[in-house]
């Protein structure tokens, strides 16, 4: 606790003099009750380390789902000036544009429950998943460059979804400035066979039903109208392509820190000036990986829709499956924010954090102009997830960012020691939550006790005013990779 100074019930400061070399203070969003687990590992040291980055402005921020990562903490946000600041691949992570996509349906829990077994089977069959899973796309070589530039647009252009999906995706599902020539042959070889796959670890497809609506106006804009309504949440990222882009550029940045005379407390924070050959190349490659991830989630959403059509039949109007939103959790974006009262162009790193722009922001489509950007906050597979919206306070305090999920509480090995995967599966079934996975023992790593209660996390971000709750949903079934 010595390193933290309480600001209010939701904010704690790591003073700028906590470590020599910090350029700005750190701010951790958390309740007092959550601090015990946060203080258990190295996460707060990582918040302080991020404050060393040249050009960092405001605060080195940590959301309440913070936990120990590598370099940056998971749940970290840091903004650096584009003019004289750095970009750090470790501030994005290996799974570039890991993110979530939410679809609503026009079906209710009582309509879906009798067919859950066949729905789960169909989803499991339609969407490749598991360790090293290869996708169903096999894009021809001539199309790869276009896929990396166009992102989700590439998928829609090939019949996987509609313009309405793109309008409900961060950056329209395509971040500008992607340059495939910045992506190594290795990254291509590692990632392209996985185009159109869920992967493993904490990636999932979850069938949910709405339990609570807190803001009916915002919920209505999202197509969420009643308790019991069924939603689908998809969580995956850029697969091996993103992993290799990060690996490649961290090696580049290792040399860059010497070239540019940058002093860092952790090598995983390796970085280069945003406006340098290394920085520009990394951003160009990272954007390709981000577009690959949006394309990936676009295809998976299409296969989810196919599964619903096959199981429930009826018309498109009967089933719904309109996209609510798609947000990135791991990304670096060039955005303009107010810093000390002046509009400043920044490189905003969100590492396990979600963009949360307010009503009226020009980045939002007309559908969400009045309510703000939808924010999707998955919990664990045994409890619940939240849908929220961005706020003006987030723009003022966190560069328009909020939390991205529950945050791990137990290490994977500790989770496996305390639970067995088959027991987790049996417990979920007793609670009428269907599970389909190719790796039952791994369920222990993703069970509820391994995660913070996402309700506590959301209470903090709502209390702090950096997003606002709209609805809560509980799981009916989960596909784990």
Partner 1 sequence: MESKPFEFVAHTADVAALVRGHDLEDVLRNAAAAFYSLAMGERSIAATLCRSVAITSVDNDALLVDWLNELIYLLFVDHQAFSQFEFDELADGRLRVNCHGQHLLPCQLHLKREVKAATYHMAHLAPDRDGLIARIVFDV
Contact residue for partner 1 among 7, 131, 338, 426 (CB under 8 A) = 131
Q: Which of residues 40-59 bind partner 1 (CB under 8 A)?
A: 41, 43
Write the CA distances from 145 to 67, 138, 289, 477, integer angstroms: 36, 13, 12, 36
What does the alpha-carbon distance between residue 373 and residue 325 come to, in Å, rounded to a whole number?
8
User: Quick one: 112 or 246, whose CB is closer to partner 1?
Assistant: 246
Quick one: which segment of 23-31, 66-74, 153-161, 276-284 binds partner 1 (CB under 8 A)?
A: 66-74
User: How many angstroms from the chain centroid is the CA of residue 245?
Assistant: 18
- Interior/surface letters 120-158, b for 16+ CB within 10 angstroms, e for the rest: bebbbebbbbbeebbbebebeeeebbebbbbbbbbbbeb
Given a contact cutoff of 8 angstroms between Cβ atoms, the answer to whether 135 and 197 are in contact is: yes
95 makes contact with partner 1 (CB under 8 A): yes
Q: Which of residues 212-241 bind partner 1 (CB under 8 A)?
A: 240
Binding mask 413-452 for partner 1 (x = CB under 8 A): xx---------------------------x----------
Handedness of CA 202, 471, 11, 341 (dihedral sign): positive
Q: How far is the CB of 200 from partner 1 (least distance, A)?
A: 5
243 makes contact with partner 1 (CB under 8 A): yes
Q: Closest Cα partner for 27 from 75, 70, 61, 66? A: 61
Contact residue for partner 1 among 23, 186, 367, 393 (CB under 8 A) = 186
For 215, phi and psi rounded to 5 degrees?
-140, 100
Q: Which of residues 70-89 bind partner 1 (CB under 8 A)?
A: 70-71, 74
410 makes contact with partner 1 (CB under 8 A): yes
199 makes contact with partner 1 (CB under 8 A): yes
Given a contact cutoff of 8 angstroms between Cβ atoms, the answer to whether 59 and 30 are in contact is: no
Q: Which of residues 313-342 bind partner 1 (CB under 8 A)?
A: none
| DSSP assignment letter at 226 | S
Q: Is 404 noted as a catalytic residue in this protein?
A: yes
94 makes contact with partner 1 (CB under 8 A): yes
Binding mask 257-276 for partner 1 (x = CB under 8 A): -x-------xxx-x------
153 makes contact with partner 1 (CB under 8 A): no
68 makes contact with partner 1 (CB under 8 A): yes
Q: How far is the CB of 474 from partner 1 (least distance, A)?
A: 25
CA dihedral 10, 454, 171, 137 (to 10 degrees): 160
User: Quick one: 66 or 123, whose CB is closer to partner 1?
Assistant: 66
What does the alpha-carbon distance between residue 352 and residue 338 come to, in Å, rounded to a whole number?
23
Contact residue for partner 1 among 101, 109, 174, 190 (CB under 8 A) = 190
| DSSP assignment letter at 120 | H
What does the alpha-carbon distance between residue 27 and residue 47 come to, in Å, rounded to a whole number?
8
Q: How far is the CB of 186 from partner 1 (least distance, A)?
A: 6
What does the alpha-carbon distance between residue 268 and residue 91 come to, in Å, rounded to a whole number?
9
385 three-state secondary structure:
strand
Of 153, 404, 432, 434, the catalytic one is 404
Size of the site for partner 1 (CB under 8 A): 42
User: How many angstroms from the chain centroid is the CA of residue 316?
Assistant: 28
325 three-state secondary structure:
strand
Contact residue for partner 1 among 5, 136, 157, 251 (CB under 8 A) = 251
Contact residue for partner 1 among 22, 77, 149, 246 (CB under 8 A) = 246
CB atoms closer than 10 angstroms to residue 313: 9
Q: How far is the CB of 408 from partner 1 (least distance, A)?
A: 5
Catalytic residue numbers?
404
Interface ranges with partner 1 (CB under 8 A): 41, 43, 67-71, 74, 90, 93-95, 131-132, 186, 189-190, 199-201, 240, 243-244, 246-247, 250-251, 254-255, 258, 266-268, 270, 408-414, 442
């Amino acid at each position: 606790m010595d390193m933290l100074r309480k600001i209010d019930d939701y904010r704690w400061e790591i003073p700028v003099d906590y470590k020599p070399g910090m350029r700005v203070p750190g701010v951790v969003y958390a309740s007092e009750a959550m601090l015990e687990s946060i203080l258990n590992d190295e996460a707060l040291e990582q918040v302080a380390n991020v404050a060393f980055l040249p050009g960092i402005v405001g605060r080195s921020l940590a959301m309440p789902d913070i936990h120990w990562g590598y370099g940056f903490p998971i749940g970290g946000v840091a903004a650096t000036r584009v003019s004289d600041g750095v970009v750090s691949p470790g501030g994005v992570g290996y799974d570039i544009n890991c993110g979530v996509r939410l679809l609503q349906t026009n079906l209710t829990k009582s309509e879906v429950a009798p067919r859950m077994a066949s729905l789960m089977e169909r989803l499991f069959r339609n969407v490749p998943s598991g360790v090293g899973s290869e996708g169903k796309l096999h894009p021809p070589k001539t199309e790869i460059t276009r896929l990396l530039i166009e992102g989700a647009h590439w998928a829609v252009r090939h019949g996987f979804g509609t313009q309405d999906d793109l309008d409900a995706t961060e950056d329209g599902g395509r971040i500008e400035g992607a340059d495939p020539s910045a992506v190594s042959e290795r990254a291509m070889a590692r990632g392209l066979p996985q185009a159109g796959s869920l992967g493993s670890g904490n990636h999932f497809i979850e069938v949910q039903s709405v339990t609570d609506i807190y803001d009916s106006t915002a919920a209505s804009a999202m197509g969420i109208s009643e308790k019991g309504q069924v939603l689908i949440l998809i969580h995956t990222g850029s697969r091996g392509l993103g992993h290799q882009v990060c690996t490649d550029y961290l090696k580049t940045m290792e040399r860059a820190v010497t070239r540019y005379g940058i002093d860092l407390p952790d090598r995983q924070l390796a970085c280069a000036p945003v406006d340098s050959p290394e920085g520009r190349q990394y951003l160009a490659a990272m954007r390709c990986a981000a577009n690959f991830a949006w394309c990936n989630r676009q295809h998976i959403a299409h296969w989810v829709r196919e599964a619903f059509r096959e199981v429930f039949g009826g018309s498109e109007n009967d089933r719904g499956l309109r996209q609510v939103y798609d947000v990135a959790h791991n990304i670096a974006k060039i955005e303009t924010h107010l810093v000390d009262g002046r509009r400043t162009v920044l490189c905003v790193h969100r590492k396990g954090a979600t963009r949360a722009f307010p009503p009226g922001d020009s980045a939002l489509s007309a559908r969400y102009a009045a309510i703000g950007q939808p924010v999707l906050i998955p919990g664990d597979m045994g409890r619940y997830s939240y849908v929220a919206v961005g706020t003006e306070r987030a723009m003022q305090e966190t560069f328009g960012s909020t939390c991205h999920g529950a945050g791990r509480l137990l290490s994977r090995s500790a989770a496996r020691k305390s639970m067995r995967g088959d027991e987790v599966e049996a417990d979920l079934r007793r609670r009428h939550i269907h599970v389909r996975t190719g790796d039952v023992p791994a369920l222990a790593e993703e069970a509820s006790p391994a995660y913070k209660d996402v309700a506590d996390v959301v209470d903090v971000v709502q209390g702090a005013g950096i997003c606002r709750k709209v609805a809560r949903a509980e799981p009916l079934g989960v596909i784990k990779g």
